[in-house]
Structure 1
């Protein structure tokens, strides 16, 4: 072998080593982001996870923001690869089935230790420029290609409907890692089949009509000042994530001092916990009022969901997004997920009773309840979309994605 060939071989091996080490750092960064958020991630923690010192990490990424942006770009690229693979299928139904299968296979590999998790995208809006614009453009491309799974929209109404379907599909795949660990890996095929059945055909029974009653969730606050802080914090955390919504920003939203903040709450973690509790209390109140109103269990379910979508789209007192989970201590995060599961189980009970009386389809109620949690949680992000049409139409379109299915041929407009 000539000296030139030897040099080329050494260069190739060096390039491979560089790529492998960089990939390992990105995987470690993704884990840190998922546990602590992008702003909470540190070079020292990432270095520890890959067995390097901090200086070695900075050789690959000069700033922490560069590392976080690269981790997010890896996630976006991964999503685009899966969507491109799904688009190879001939019909919308086959494409969505393939996309779900790819996500389930990825989570199975992660569960078995054969692949590392990718970074959740909750902190995109909290990133600094110019990375923020680039990442948000990447997210818009992911959304556009997801919407394309249903084909070319030939009208504004079709574009609105496909947009709602795309958002609900994406959010349900993002929500999967939260509840899927409750199942053994050998059950994943069954979970996938049951989940796709819900996505494809919905929850409503054959004769179920869309006629929800919006429930009155208004109630007097015992501490109006504290409630105002919770609402301002919820809006900012939904927009910027846990770390992006600083105490100073929350206080500025209300035109008060940081001292006023600490008059109502002792610490920022306490604030997020209080926001979650308020959100869960709101959902529970909608479920309780729907039960008190009576009617079929389909009527109760659809009224509760419609009421909560109205809350999210109105933005007066939105529910806190799960984006804040990654910034919380693990014990607090676990407690919040446990509370979420309690709320989901109440939905499951309503669905089970609806199945028994014939007003709901025979579906896996536990899985269906988790899809509804993802639906109502993510609706806040669609408030601008909802603002382009009458509120009742936005609610019916968005709810139709799970209540009637992602491929329902009946006119969603007819359910306004």
Structure 2
């Protein structure tokens, strides 16, 4: 716990700029950033307050403004810290000689970090859900930092010599990053001494995929009917797209209403509050996934065929215009009880994937992998695909779906997807 300061300048009239290099200054600034990251992860960047951050570190509110003049500055510093730590891990991973070793080392570094967090030895990163809700020069700076992280991740596979390989490495980088962002949501269900094993099992899926080497990608897409109420579907579709693009707090009620060219009163005709909107959007998305899984099971066929059909269908939804699935980034804006309920619903879908994979292993149509770990990796893949719709728009849709799906179904070091 950091001792409370008596004034914004401290006991000696200390100037924050001149004192920025002192150990005491750095320690308190880091303590504030850690507390703010916790607040952002629980309440979102806009829900975070100076008063709450000050309470967490034992300072008064005025003392926090000694380090950060505005709440937006504090949130931006938290996001920059996350991006900086990601960059450090990626730079270390790049020192390994081969793509497989680089990815394995990056996964190991993430598992070590999560182990330290669970043990109470360090603080979690601020999740980047609200990064896109920032504005102006701050947004430009943060998005430039994110681009550096993405490009460095792509370099784990080396310099691409063709446009096709650049596309493939980009898909792999995106799925890898999303899996490390999704890890904290589900890994806490394991005992701490199991974390290294979870990391190994995740790396096994990333390295060699879920399919057998001899399996072919030949999905039969499913026609979904979850958008049976056109007016409500249009409303939820617009909200889902904006929340995915701008985050929970960036997608205001006014902005959603403007997207549909209706009044805010029309919003409240559909739903009582914004949290109700997010829950309805999640409900729509979860039902689309569940419907695809049910239809695939009803069709019969091998478990590999069923899984291929579901993944291809959901990626088509994410890449297309008919309506994306709501991203997990919206979770940070919900009240804890609602957030837990949405994660529980997500876990039920993941367990159904795990069942399909288990049955596929038993019948010999899939490779022997850890079904629980592989299912969570698939949840991350389908969740992240929305952000790659511009990437997907640069090639035929079927090719984009096959290339993106290959990252987990055939592994991140199988270049057949580039042929």
Q: TM-score range by the shorter chain?
A: over 0.9
Deviations 1:60-95 (A, max 9, x none): 000000000000000000000000100010000000
Shift of 1:322: 0.4
Counterpart residue number, 2:221: 214
Matches within 5 A, 1:179-218: 179-218=186-225
Counterpart residue number, 2:12: none
Counterpart residue number, 2:177: 170
Q: Is the 8 A contact 1:231 1:317 kept in 2?
A: yes
Partner Cα separation in structure 1 for residue 30 and residue 204 of structure 2: 36
Q: Is the 8 A contact 1:314 1:383 kept in 2?
A: yes
Counterpart residue number, 2:309: 303
From 27, 31, 37, give the equivalent of 1:30. Answer: 37
1:258 pairs with 2:264? yes
Deviations 1:48-67 (A, max 9, x none): 11111111000100000000
From 242, 247, 255, give the equivalent of 2:248. Answer: 242
Counterpart residue number, 1:277: 283
Q: Is the 8 A contact 2:226 2:291 kept in 1?
A: no
Partner Cα separation in structure 1 for residue 237 and residue 224 of structure 2: 15
Q: Is the 8 A contact 1:111 1:185 kept in 2?
A: yes
The answer for unaligned runs of 5 or more in structure 1 is 1-10
Partner Cα separation in structure 2 for residue 48 and residue 212 of structure 1: 54
Secondary structure at 1:130 match in 2:
helix
Shift of 1:291: 1.0
Counterpart residue number, 2:325: 319
Shift of 1:14: 7.8
From 317, 326, 338, give the equivalent of 1:332. Answer: 338
Q: Is the 8 A contact 1:110 1:117 kept in 2?
A: yes
1:394 pairs with 2:400? yes
Q: Is the 8 A contact 1:291 1:300 kept in 2?
A: yes
Shift of 1:227: 1.9
Counterpart residue number, 1:95: 102
Aligned length: 403
Shift of 1:220: 5.3
Scaled by the length of structure 2, the TM-score of the pair is 0.94
1:288 pairs with 2:289? no
Q: Is the 8 A contact 2:226 2:287 kept in 1?
A: no
Shift of 1:190: 1.1
Deviations 1:313-353 (A, max 9, x none): 00321100000101100000000000000000000000001
- Structure 1 residues 144 and 413: alpha-carbon distance in aligned structure 2, compared to 1, 3 A threshold: closer
Q: Is the 8 A contact 1:225 1:264 kept in 2?
A: no
Q: Is the 8 A contact 1:207 1:359 kept in 2?
A: no
Counterpart residue number, 1:6: none
Scaled by the length of structure 1, the TM-score of the pair is 0.95
RMSD value, Cα: 1.4
- Structure 1 residues 351 and 129: alpha-carbon distance in aligned structure 2, compared to 1, 3 A threshold: same
Counterpart residue number, 2:119: 112
Matches within 5 A, 1:338-357: 338-357=344-363
Q: Is the 8 A contact 1:348 1:366 kept in 2?
A: yes
Partner Cα separation in structure 2 for residue 47 and residue 287 of structure 1: 47
Q: Is the 8 A contact 2:19 2:25 kept in 1?
A: no
Segments of 4+ moved more than 4 angstroms: 11-14
Q: Is the 8 A contact 2:87 2:149 kept in 1?
A: yes
Q: Is the 8 A contact 2:168 2:418 kept in 1?
A: no
Q: Is the 8 A contact 1:65 1:128 kept in 2?
A: no
- Structure 1 residues 14 and 347: alpha-carbon distance in aligned structure 2, compared to 1, 3 A threshold: closer
Counterpart residue number, 1:407: 413
Counterpart residue number, 1:383: 389
Deviations 1:221-269 (A, max 9, x none): 24x3222211111001001111111100000000000001111111111
Counterpart residue number, 1:8: none
Secondary structure at 2:136 match in 1:
coil
Q: Is the 8 A contact 2:226 2:284 kept in 1?
A: no
Partner Cα separation in structure 2 for residue 271 and residue 381 of structure 1: 21
Partner Cα separation in structure 1 for residue 345 and residue 158 of structure 2: 38
